[in-house]
């Protein structure tokens, strides 16, 4: 019996051996992204390598990587995405789009990854206000690739809403149609016969960019949309949308010989899980996993109660692990109170009672590698910060801004308008004084106004007691190492009333 995997590979080969005649030319674009984990039962880089090899052995192939992959992950929490670049260097993308997750650690860290890459990274509508030419160091605004006799222009765009959860005040994002139009025209003037835009998630003006022939093809992806939207593919062949995780799009462009302007497009979605692993890339993945596991598998403490770290648990209500993290920050820094955003916690799983929590579990949960920051804030600044944290909860999984706290308690009424939802705010069981100063342990991300916590940007910074400011994950690990067992029940810090929506 022929396996499903073999059938899929035979189908891929058949798709291009039967479609090309002497009178036509074609190329295939392999496009994917959101591969922040190098191992996954749904397929990842080793399976992608098989797909690329299959196409490259048959016809001219362009590999465009959509990004959103340098973070978050357990490994990236240590090397800040360097292992992803290492694997991609062997897969040889023709270009990689820079999306929001590439900025997880910092703009300068992204520039370091760009210089490690043996391929160009592209971002067309974002500028860095600190650089001389407003280019992000190491990142291209556009490029032209010659493949099978035609010149193909490559652009990539992000949207300002994609950066709402990042503290990136240096960046300016231009959401207008004009910036893409200007750069596409420049590519045409340089001889580009096709222009392709890699757009992170949704992009404004998408329809008009295609209708006005500003660009010829738009590639975009969002594996986190709901199932209702997921069942509705784009009706336009030139608007290629990947809406499932760990999936690649194989876009075949065919045109009459020497007439690329008369092209036609067919697209096949390929679930990576249905492909075999490439042995060379698979061995690289195993080597990385083995080296990292030496640290990750060391036990810290045994749970005597379960810990739920799912997105909906940490982004909509008080959470037991959020209590552990903020308690560790408050106690370790000798601060009055502590606050993090729920989006800091990334594991999206539940650990049962009796489980031995490891270094790797903590690093996976706090994979953004934020440093602790100590601030002197007023009661009013704290009140404003909490109002911000509960102002954006808009669906069942909430948003990353939702606060997890220590040393305080408060009530939230979602039936009230934004800005008036917080009441009965207590600091160590005493009513908050709006004009009194308190010391707050938080993250450098929130210190810089991330997730809308702009009230922290104006607070005074207090020197940390240690010579070097530690990572929050290190503070939590040190806290747990002193606890042979851990019971982390919710302790009634956040009391919620009313429907949990905007």
- For 170-210, the pLDDT digits (tens) are 888 898 899 999 999 999 999 999 999 999 776 778 899 99
What's the pLDDT band for 434 if we cut at 50, 70, 90?
very high
Cα 417 from Cα 402, distance rounded (Å): 16
Percent of the chain with pLDDT over 90: 68
pLDDT of the residue at 228:
41
What percent helix, strand, coil does the chain show, rounded to 5? 35, 25, 40
Tokens of 50: 């098989």
Q: Which pLDDT belongs to residue 2?
A: 41
pLDDT at residue 12 in the model: 62
Can you tell me the distance from the alpha carbon of 409 to that of 429, in angstroms, rounded to the nearest whole number? 8
pLDDT at 449 exceeding the cut of 60: yes
Q: How far apart are CA 441 and CA 333, in angstroms?
A: 7
| Helix/strand/coil (H/E/C) assignment for every residue in 154-188 | EEEECCHHHHCCCCCCCEEECCCHHHHHHHHHHHH
The secondary structure of residue 371, as a DSSP letter, is B
Mean pLDDT value across residues 116-120: 98
pLDDT bin (cut points 50, 70, 90) of residue 465 is low
- What are the tens digits of pLDDT across the range 14-63? 555 545 566 889 999 999 999 999 999 999 999 999 999 999 999 999 99
User: Per-residue pLDDT for 466 more than 60?
Assistant: no
Q: Round to whole Å and give the CA distance between 273 and 177.
A: 37
Percent of the chain with pLDDT over 70: 89
Which tokens is 73 given? Answer: 């992950």
pLDDT of res. 178: 94
pLDDT at residue 227 tops 60 = no
Cβ-contact 495, 411 below 8 angstroms: yes
The whole-number pLDDT of residue 292 equals 84
Instruction: Tell me if 490 sits within 8 A of 320, measured CB to CB.
Output: yes
**What local confidence, expressed as pLDDT, does residue 132 receive?**
65
* Annotation: CATH topology of 27-289: Purple Acid Phosphatase; chain A, domain 2 (3.60.21)
Is the distance from CB of 54 to CB of 12 less than 8 angstroms? Answer: yes
User: Which of 164, 190, 189 is closest to 175 using CA atoms?
Assistant: 164
Nearest of 203, 204, 196, 206 to residue 265 by alpha carbon: 196
Tokens 């994609």 -> residue: 162
- For 349-366, what is the HEC assignment? CEECCCCEEEHHHHHHHC
Q: What is the pLDDT of residue 105?
A: 83
pLDDT of 386-404, one tens digit each? 999 999 765 556 788 999 9
- The CATH architecture of the domain made up of 297-497 is Alpha-Beta Complex (3.90)
| Cis-peptide, bond into residue 197, ω within 30° of zero | no
Q: Measuring CA to CA, how many Å separate 415 from each of 167, 339, 442, 451, 497? A: 29, 24, 28, 22, 8
Q: pLDDT tier at 491 (50, 70, 90 boundaries)?
A: confident
Q: For residue 259, is pLDDT > 50?
A: yes
DSSP per-residue letters across 16-35 = HHTT--TTEEEEEEEEE---
Per-residue pLDDT, 196: 98
133 or 208: which carries more pLDDT confidence?
208
Strands 217-221 and 194-200, by their bridges, are parallel
Residue 443 has which token pair? 């993250």
Distinct helix (H) and strand (E) counts, the chain = 15, 27
Domain ranges of the chain: 27-289, 297-497
Measured between alpha carbons, how far is 79 from 70 in angstroms, rounded to an integer? 10
User: Residue 22: what pLDDT?
Assistant: 67
pLDDT tens-digit series, residues 157-173: 998 877 765 667 788 88
Q: Which of 236, 187, 180, 194 is nearest to 211 (CA)?
A: 236
Q: What is the pTM of this model?
A: 0.74
pLDDT at 130: 82
């Amino acid at each position: 019996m022929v396996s499903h995997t073999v059938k899929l590979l035979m189908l891929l080969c058949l798709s291009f051996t039967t479609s090309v005649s002497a009178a036509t030319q074609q190329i295939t674009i392999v496009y994917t992204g959101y591969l922040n984990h190098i191992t996954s039962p749904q397929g990842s880089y080793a399976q992608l390598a098989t797909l690329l090899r299959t196409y490259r052995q048959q016809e001219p192939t362009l590999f465009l990587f959509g990004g959103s992959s340098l973070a978050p992950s357990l490994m990236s929490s240590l090397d800040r995405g360097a292992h992803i670049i290492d694997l991609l260097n062997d897969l040889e993308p023709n270009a990689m789009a820079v999306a929001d997750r590439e900025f997880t650690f910092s703009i300068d860290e992204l520039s370091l990854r760009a210089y490690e890459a043996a391929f160009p990274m592209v971002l067309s509508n974002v500028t860095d206000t600190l650089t001389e030419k407003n280019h992000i160091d190491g990142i291209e605004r556009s490029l032209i690739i010659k493949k099978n006799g035609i010149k193909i222009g490559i652009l990539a765009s992000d949207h300002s809403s994609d950066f709402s959860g990042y503290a990136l005040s240096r960046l300016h994002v231009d959401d207008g149609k004009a910036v893409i139009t200007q750069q596409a025209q420049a590519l045409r003037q340089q001889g580009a016969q096709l222009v392709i835009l890699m757009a992170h998630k949704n992009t404004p003006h998408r329809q008009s960019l295609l209708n006005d022939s500003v660009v010829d093809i738009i590639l975009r992806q969002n594996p986190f949309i709901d199932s209702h939207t997921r069942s509705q593919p784009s009706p336009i062949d030139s608007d290629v949308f990947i809406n499932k995780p760990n999936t690649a799009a194989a876009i075949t462009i065919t045109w009459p010989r020497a007439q690329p302007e008369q092209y036609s497009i067919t697209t096949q979605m390929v679930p990576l899980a249905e492909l075999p692993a490439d042995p060379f890339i698979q061995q690289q993945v195993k080597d990385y996993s083995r080296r990292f596991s030496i640290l990750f598998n060391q036990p810290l403490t045994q749970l005597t109660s379960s810990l739920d770290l799912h997105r909906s648990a940490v982004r909509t209500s008080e959470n037991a692990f959020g209590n552990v993290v903020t308690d560790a920050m408050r106690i370790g820094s000798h601060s009055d109170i502590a606050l993090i955003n729920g989006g800091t916690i990334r594991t999206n799983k539940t650990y049962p009672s009796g489980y031995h929590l490891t270094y790797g579990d903590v690093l996976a949960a706090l994979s953004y590698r934020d440093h602790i920051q100590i601030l002197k804030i007023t009661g009013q600044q704290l009140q404003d910060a909490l109002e911000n944290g509960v102002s954006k909860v808009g669906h069942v999984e909430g948003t990353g801004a939702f606060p997890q706290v220590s040393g305080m308690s408060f009530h939230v009424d979602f039936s009230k308008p934004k800005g008036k939802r917080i009441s009965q705010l207590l600091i160590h069981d005493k009513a908050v004084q709006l004009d009194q100063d308190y010391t707050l342990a938080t993250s450098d991300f929130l210190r810089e106004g991330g997730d809308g916590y702009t009230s922290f940007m104006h607070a005074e910074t207090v020197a940390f007691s240690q010579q070097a400011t530690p990572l929050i994950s290190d503070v939590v690990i040190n806290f747990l190492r002193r606890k042979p067992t851990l019971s982390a029940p919710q302790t009634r810090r956040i009391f919620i009333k009313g429907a949990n929506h905007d």
